[in-house]
Amino acid sequence: MHSRPNSENWFFYEPRLEMTLVGRFFVRLCTYVTYAGLSVTSVIFLLNDLRSLKAVGALLVLFLLDRLRVANRADRSLDQATEGKINLAHYLSPKSYATIEWALDRAIFSKSDFELYLLKKLSDRVEIREGLARVDIKPKEFSGVIESEIAAYSGGAPNRKEISTRLMSLVKIAASAALDAGGSQIDPKDLLLALVLFGDSETGKIFKKFDLSADSLFNSLITSQFRSTFARLSKMPSSLVGLLAQPRRARRRVMNRAWTARPTPLLDQFSRDITDLARSEAVGFLIGHQKEYDRLVDVLSRPGRPNVLLVGESGSGKSTLAAHLAFEIVHDRVPAPLFDRRLVELEIGGLVSGVNEDELEVRVNRLINEITAAGNVILYIPDIHNLFRTSGQGRISAADVLLPAIKSDAFSVVGATSPREFKQYVEPNSDFGTSFESVRVEEISEQDAVKLLSFESVLLERQFRAVISFSALREAVGLAKKYFHQKLLPGSAEDLLRESLADVVGKKKKILTAADVVAVAEKKVNVPIHKAGKEEAAKLLNLEQEIHQRFIDQEEAVGSVARALREYRSGLSRKGGPIAAFLFVGPTGVGKTELSKILAKIQFGSSEAMARLDMSEYQDKSSIHRLLGMPDGSATGNLTAAV
String of DSSP letters for 463-501: HHT-EE-HHHHHHHHHHHHHH--SS-TTHHHHHHHHHHH
* pLDDT score for 396: 83
What pLDDT does residue 51 have? 92
Half-sphere exposure of 48 (CA within 13 A, CB side): 15
Is residue 631 in some structural domain?
A: no
| 583-615: pLDDT as tens digits | 999 999 999 999 999 988 888 778 888 888 888
Give the single-character DSSP code of 159.
P
C-alpha to C-alpha distances, 493 to 366, 489, 539, nearest whole angstrom: 44, 6, 31
Rounded-to-integer distance, Cα 467 and Cα 382, Å:
36
Phi/psi at 104 (5° precision): -65, -45
Question: Above 90 in pLDDT, residue 390?
Answer: no
Using DSSP's 3-state secondary structure scheme, residue 421 falls into: helix
**Radius of gyration (C-alpha) of the chain in whole angstroms:** 32
Distance CA 225, CA 189 (A): 8
What CATH number did the domain enclosing 513 receive? 1.10.8.60
Write down the pLDDT at residue 156: 81
Residues 494 and 552 placed together within one structural domain of the fold = no
Nearby residues of 53 by Cβ (< 8 Å), 6 or more positions away: 45
Distance CA 124, CA 614 (A): 66
Query: Which position has the higher pLDDT, 255 or 16?
Result: 16
179 and 63 share a domain?
yes
**Co-location of 292 and 422 in the same domain:** yes
In the prediction, which pLDDT does 370 show? 97
- Distance from chain centroid for Cα 39: 46
What span, in angstroms and rounded, lies between the C-alpha atoms of 39 and 61? 7
Shared domain for 78 and 165, answered yes or no, is yes
Do residues 546 and 521 share a domain? no
pLDDT score of 241: 65
Q: Where do the DSSP E strands lie in 263-351?
A: 271-273, 308-311, 342-346
What is the amino acid identity at position 345?
E
Q: For the chain, give the longest Cα–Cα distance.
A: 113
Model confidence band, residue 254 (pLDDT cutoffs 50, 70, 90) = low
Q: Is the peptide bond before 490 cis (omega within 30 degrees of 0)?
A: yes
Classify residue 191: in a domain, yes or no.
Answer: yes
Do both 519 and 391 map to the same domain?
no
For residues 436 and 294, give the distance between their C-alpha atoms in angstroms, rounded to a whole number.
16
Contacts of 255 by beta carbon, 8 Å cutoff, 6+ apart = 261, 263
CB-CB contact of 36 with 51 (8 Å): no
Give a yes or no: residue 451 inside a domain: no
Residue 252: per-residue pLDDT: 59
- Buried-exposed string 343-358: b where 16+ CB fall within 10 A, e elsewhere: bbbbebeebbeeeeee
How far apart are the C-alpha atoms of 407 and 138, rounded to whole Å? Answer: 62
Which pLDDT belongs to residue 393?
A: 65
* Per-residue model confidence as pLDDT tens digits over 169-198: 999 999 999 998 888 999 999 999 999 998
pLDDT score recorded for residue 245? 53
Total domains present in the chain: 4
Q: How many CB atoms lie within 10 A of CB 577?
A: 8
Residues 496 and 436 in one domain: no
| Sign of the four-CA dihedral 569, 573, 577, 578 | negative
Give CA–CA dist 215/76, Å, rounded: 27
Q: What are phi and psi of 559, to 5 degrees?
A: -65, -40
Give yes or no for a contact between 372 and 409, defined as CB atoms under 8 angstroms apart. Answer: no
Name the percent of the chain lying above pLDDT 70.
93
The answer as to whether 453 is a domain residue is no
In a shared domain, residues 72 and 163: yes
CA angle 179, 181, 184 (to 5 degrees): 55
CATH at residue 115: 1.10.1780.10
- Measured CA to CA in angstroms, residue 97 lies from 102, 118, 224 at distances of 9, 11, 21
Supply the angle between the helices 318-330 and 290-301 in degrees, to the nearest 10: 60
Q: Is the pLDDT of residue 1 over 60?
A: no
Residues 433, 465, single domain; the answer is: no
Cβ neighbours of residue 281 closer than 8 Å, sequence gap 6 or more: 237, 239, 241, 242, 245, 246, 247, 248
Q: State the distance between the two ends of the chain, measured CA to CA, in whole angstroms.
A: 47
pLDDT tier, 242 (very low <50, low <70, confident <90, very high otherwise):
low
Do residue 129 and residue 173 come from a single domain? yes
User: Alpha-carbon distance 59 to 39, whole Å?
Assistant: 11
Cis peptide bond N-terminal to 419, omega within 30: no
- Per-residue pLDDT of 15-33, as tens digits, reads 999 998 889 889 989 999 9
In 3D space, the residue among 542, 574, 569 whose CA is nearest the CA of residue 558 turns out to be 542
Distances (CA, A) of 553 to 541, 542, 557: 18, 16, 9
Same domain, 292 and 180: no
- Is residue 170 in some structural domain? yes
User: 479 to each of 128, 377, 485, 489, 524, how far by Cα in Å?
Assistant: 28, 42, 10, 11, 11
Q: Taking a C-beta distance cutoff of 8 angstroms, is the pair 89, 78 a contact?
A: no
In three-state secondary structure terms, 413 is strand
Alpha helices in 286-330 (DSSP H): 290-301, 318-330
**Cα(92)–Cα(85) distance, integer angstroms:** 16
Residue 249 lies in a domain: no
pLDDT at residue 281, rounded to an integer? 82
Q: How would you classify the pairing of strands 342-346 and 271-273?
A: antiparallel
Phi then psi for 343, rounded to 5 degrees? -100, 115
Residue 361: pLDDT band (50, 70, 90) is very high
> Rounded distance, CA 553 to CA 590, Å?
10
pTM higher than the cut 0.95: no
Whether 11 and 62 map to the same domain: the answer is yes
Assess if residue 272 is contained within a domain.
Answer: yes
- Domain boundary (493, 525, 557) is at 525
Asked if residue 632 belongs to a domain, the reply is no
Nearest to 132 by CA among 210, 200, 198: 210
> Would the pLDDT of 579 be above 50?
yes
What pLDDT, in 10s, does the model give residues 402-415? 999 999 999 999 99
Please give the residue range of the domain that contains residue 490: 460-525
The 10s digit of each residue's pLDDT in 489-529 is 999 999 999 999 999 999 999 999 999 999 999 999 888 88
pLDDT in tens, 297-316: 999 999 999 999 999 999 99
Half-sphere exposure at residue 507, Cβ-oriented, CA atoms within 13 angstroms: 12
The answer on pLDDT for 109 being more than 80 is yes
DSSP, collapsed to helix, strand or coil, labels residue 117 as helix
The helix/strand/coil state of 91 is helix
441 and 321 Cβ atoms separated by less than 8 Å: yes
